[in-house]
Structure 1
Amino acid sequence: MPMPPPPLTASRVSDVVAEALERRILDGTFPPGTRLPAERALALELGVSRTSLRQAIQTLVARHLLSTRHGGGHYVTDSLEAPFVNPWQEMLEGHPSLQVDMLEFRDMLDSRSAALAAERATPADLDRLDHAFAAMERAYEEDDLSRTIVTDVAFHQEIADCAHNVVIRQLTAGLMRVIHKHVSRNLSHLHQRPARWSLLRGQHRAIWQAIHEHDPAKAAAAARAHITFVQDSMAESARDEEYRLGVLRHKRMGTP
């Protein structure tokens, strides 16, 4: 007759709780910057004592996944993203040619993310995706450029969340932070061109619709077409900027 498993000690309970909290951080239930629920409520939800919960929180604080603010609770850090984001942001600023490589990587990531989202999205996932899409549509309708930039990033992150792949989710979050300035610059460029601005809006709708139809191939193709459009737009923006700087140089030199 098999021996029953040994009872969980207080330290083992805290380890189990730490793993449960870590899973929620990884899967985006608690994204960076999120404040954890109050200890009493969270302990009740997890079915453990507040002592075990506090030990688990201290474990994650020691691993830099959580930070504690005096009198203000416990917050999820960006430690999973920062090691990827910080050096790449600096290199992208110093070497603009890296944008092409970043977009090639984003092409792979976004197309696979959209395909998995179409395959795996649950009704709850689709509700969140609909909310993100609706917020972006409102920004387009109101011609609010700054809000469009924010909701565009949020929409793509929601697609990554729908893929139910922790690595894709984290890489997408990090990548969008790395290229945020370039996304803003590109959207500002497109905003001045109504016909292309309308095309961009339609591309987002095509991705959203393909995921709703649970059609992975169609979702991947729509995402890939979107990134190709972005690549072309960024190249056009760079040419326009080069021309503008050339005109300024000629004016300073007094040449016609």
Structure 2
Amino acid sequence: MSARKPAASRLSDIVASELETRILEGSLKPGDRLPAERELAVELGVSRPSLRAALQALAAKGLLITRHGGGTFVTDFMEAPFVDPWQQMLKDHPDIHGDMLEFRHMLESQAAQLAAERATEADLERIGACHAAVEQAFDSNDLETCIAMDVAFHQAIAEASHNVLIGHLSSSLHKVLQGHVQGNLEYLNARPELWNQLKVQHRAIWDAIRERRTETASLASRHHIEFVRRTTLETQRDEERRSRASRRLGAV
């Protein structure tokens, strides 16, 4: 007896699940445009009607959005509910910044440890490429590129942990802290001895992950975030001193 082919509705569920998995694991990221319908249908081995039904189901969940004449894109549905309120909270209550860094301390040390244990060869190649880009950006003193490459490096490690929650929380947390990351890098860039320490710390994390030294990777990550915490406090104090001095000049 020949095997019965799955019904079209069942096939669309399978396709929707496959695409949803890619979104969860970070293969498809917020803002990514899906391939053209014909190309994606061939890749997945399904008919275009089944693919359309799957895309409609994911759009109904808020994971995809189709722009007329512009294609289908992954939304930030997985991140926005966390990022939007916490960015405002951080702005209104700067005293919770330490709590954010404490959470980042836990998250990134665990991510580094798991990445050292679980990273595939493809993961290691990606982390290595990100680390090379970080070093090049830091040597160029291009702060905008430094910020982007620094975030990409840590995100590659988070995704190499092969824990979808760590991957998505890491991405969300970096968006929440973006302004503070920029301020801290500006502070460190003006102090070469501290700037060089950042490079050494990134290298230590990468080396430990590449060599599969799980505990060392975790310790290197914790050391890095503790350094970030201390220098962030110095950045805040520096900004407060500048503001105080500016107010005094204005009062003269």
Q: TM-score range by the shorter chain?
A: over 0.9
The structural deviation recorded for 1:137 is 1.1
Q: Deviations over 1:187-245 (max 9, x none)?
A: 00100000000001110111011000111100000000000000000111111111112
Where does residue 186 of structure 1 map in the other structure?
A: 184
The structural deviation recorded for 1:151 is 0.4
Q: Deviations over 1:7-48 (max 9, x none)?
A: 521111101110000000111111110011121221112111
Where does residue 58 of structure 2 map in the other structure?
A: 60
- Within the alignment, does 1:145 sit opposite 2:120 as a pair? no
- Within 2, Cα distance between the matches of 1:91 and 1:192? 29
Among candidates 202, 205, 219, match of residue 204 of structure 1:
202
The structural deviation recorded for 1:86 is 0.1
**Structure 2 residue matching 1:128: 3-state secondary structure:** helix
CA RMSD in angstroms, aligned pairs only: 1.4
Where does residue 119 of structure 2 map in the other structure?
A: 121
Among candidates 61, 67, 72, match of residue 70 of structure 2:
72
Letter in 2 for 1:81: E
Where does residue 154 of structure 1 map in the other structure?
A: 152
Letter in 2 for 1:247: A
- Within 1, Cα distance between the matches of 2:237 and 2:45? 60
- Within 2, Cα distance between the matches of 1:168 and 1:140? 26
Where does residue 177 of structure 1 map in the other structure?
A: 175
Where does residue 23 of structure 2 map in the other structure?
A: 25
For structure 1, which runs of at least 5 residues remain unmatched after alignment? none
The structural deviation recorded for 1:253 is 2.7
The count of residues paired between Structure 1 and Structure 2 equals: 252
Q: Tell me the percent identity.
A: 53
For structure 2, which runs of at least 5 residues remain unmatched after alignment? none
Q: TM-score, normalised by structure 1?
A: 0.95
Where does residue 105 of structure 1 map in the other structure?
A: 103
Q: TM-score, normalised by structure 2?
A: 0.97
